[in-house]
Amino acid sequence: MRILTLVLAVVVALASATPVSAQKPEVTEVDAWLVRDPQMSSQFAVADHFGYFKEQGIKVNPRWYIAGTDLPSMWGAGNIHLGTATATMVVPIAASGQGIYNIAPQSDIAGTQQIVIGKKAQATLKSPKEFEKLKIGMPKGASVTMAIQAMARETGVDFTKIQFVNLAPPDTVTALAKGDVDAIAIWAPWAFNAVKQAGGKVYFTGNKSHIPGKEGNVDWLRVHAGVVASGKMLKDNPNTLKAILRALVKATDKINSDRAGVVPVVAREMKMDEGLARDIMALNKYSMEMDGNIVKGMSEFVDFLHSLDRIKQKFPPEQVFYTKLLEDVDPKLVKAKVNAPLK
C-alpha cells in the first residue's frame, strides 16, 4: 500500500508539473512558407513525408516558393507567420521594423557557397596574392562576397583590386566556360555545373579551403538556414511552434542517420535529380543546435548589408533570435540563449 501510494504521488506530481493542456497545440493546421531548396527546407520535407508533424497532432501546409530574396516583400504583407530563411532574408525584414525571429537553426550551408576557378586560372594561379588579378563573375552583393573578403584578409589579398562582373547565377557558368571571366563566386547547383560543364575547380568555399598550401577547414562565411516566425505566431501559438520544432528535430536526426532514405524524399519535393540533391546535402551540416557562432554570423550579415546600403541602420543581432521554445523542446540544443522582446 505504501508503494502504491508513493507511485500515485509521483504520477500526480508529474502531471501537475507538466499539464497536458500546456503542450496541446493552439492550432492544428498552419502554413509554412518554404524555399524550394535542400539547403533551406529539407527538414520540413522529411517531417511531412514521414508523418512527424502528424505525430505531434498538427498539419503543416508547405507553401513552396523559389527565390528566398522574395521573402522580405512577402513578409511585409503580414500574411506569413512561419517559414525558413537565412540572414540575407531576415536582416532586411528586421531592419524595416517588422517582427521576425529565428527560433531554431536547421543547417550550416556555407559549404555550398563556392568560388570556382576556370581552366586558365588553374594553370596560372600560383598563390592567393594572384587572386587580385582575376575577373570574377557573380551576382552583385551576393553573400558569398563575405567569403572572398574573409579569404583576402587572411591571405593578404587586396580585395579592392579584384575585378567583379555582375552576372545572374546561370550566366556565370556560361561566362566561365567561354573564358569571359577567370572565376565565379556562386552557390549550388550552379557551382556544381561550373565544375562539370565548364571544367572549373573549387578554389574555396565558405567553410573549406582548397587553396594549395592552405587547405583545410575555414570560417570564411557563417551562413545558416533557420526556422523563422512572426511575433504574432510566437505570442499566440507557442505550443504549436514547439510541436513543429519537435517534428523538425526528429527529421534532422533522420537526415543524419538515414541519408539514403531521405534523399529521394528531398529530391522529389525540391523537384531535382536525386544525384544533385545528394551532392548538395553532402555539403550542408544539418543541425538544430543553437550556438554563439550563429549569432555572430547574423551580426556579420548586418554589417555586410549595411555596407551595401541595403539596410539604413544597423541593429544588434540578438534582436532577431528567440530560443525559448527550442530550449523547452530540448535544452541540450541551446548553447546560446537569446530571447528578444516580441513585437
pLDDT (tens digit, 9 = 90+) per residue, 110-126? 999 999 999 999 999 99
Contact between 306 and 314 (Cβ < 8 Å): yes
Rounded Cα gap, residues 13 and 159, in angstroms = 63
Residue-level pLDDT at 66: 84
For domain 27-109+223-333, is the CATH number 2.60.120.260? no
pLDDT tens for 55-108 read 999 999 999 998 787 898 899 888 899 999 999 999 999 999 999 999 999 999
Side chain identity at 52, as an amino acid letter?
Y
Find the radius of gyration of the CA atoms of the chain: 22
Q: Does the pLDDT at position 13 exceed 50? A: no
For the chain, give the longest Cα–Cα distance.
Answer: 86
User: Residue 60: what pLDDT?
Assistant: 98
Helix axes 190-198, 274-283, angle to 10 degrees: 110
Residue 15 has pLDDT above 70, yes or no: no
Task: List C-alpha distances in Å: 318 to 102, 289, 291, 336.
Answer: 10, 16, 12, 10
| Coil/strand/helix, residue 328 | helix
- CA 13-16-21 angle, to 5 degrees, is 145
User: Strand runs (DSSP E) across 156-298, as ranges?
Assistant: 163-166, 183-187, 201-205, 208-209, 216-217, 224-229, 285-286
Who's near 186: CB < 8 A, 6+ residues apart? 114, 116, 138, 139, 142, 144, 169, 172, 173, 194
Mean pLDDT of all residues in 217-240: 97
The DSSP line for 66-87 is: S-GGGHHHHHTTT---EEEE-H
Residue spans of the domains in the chain: they are 27-109+223-333, 111-217
What single letter denotes the amino acid at residue 304?
A: F
Tell me the pTM.
Answer: 0.89
CATH number attached to the domain at 111-217: 3.40.190.10
Q: Is 193 helix (H, G, I), strand (E, B) or coil?
A: helix
Mean pLDDT of 320-341: 97
Mean per-residue pLDDT over the chain, rounded: 92
The percentage of the chain sitting over the pLDDT mark of 70, rounded to a whole number, equals: 94
132 pLDDT exceeds 70? Answer: yes
DSSP code string of 250-283:
HHHHHHHH-HHHHHHHHHHHHTS-HHHHHHHHHH
Q: Do the first three CATH levels of 27-109+223-333 and 111-217 match, i.e. the same topology? A: yes
pLDDT of amino acid 19: 43
**Which residues have a Cβ under 8 Å from the Cβ of 66 and sit 6 or more positions away?**
35, 36
Cβ contact 117:203 at 8 Å? yes
Between β-strands 201-205 and 163-166, what pairing exists: parallel, antiparallel or unpaired? Answer: unpaired
HSE (side-chain half, CA atoms, 13 Å) at 41: 29
Structure confidence by residue, pLDDT tens digits, 144-188: 999 999 999 999 999 999 999 999 999 999 999 999 999 999 999
Distance CA 108, CA 119 (A): 29
- Which of 87, 104, 133, 128 minimizes the C-alpha distance to 248? 104
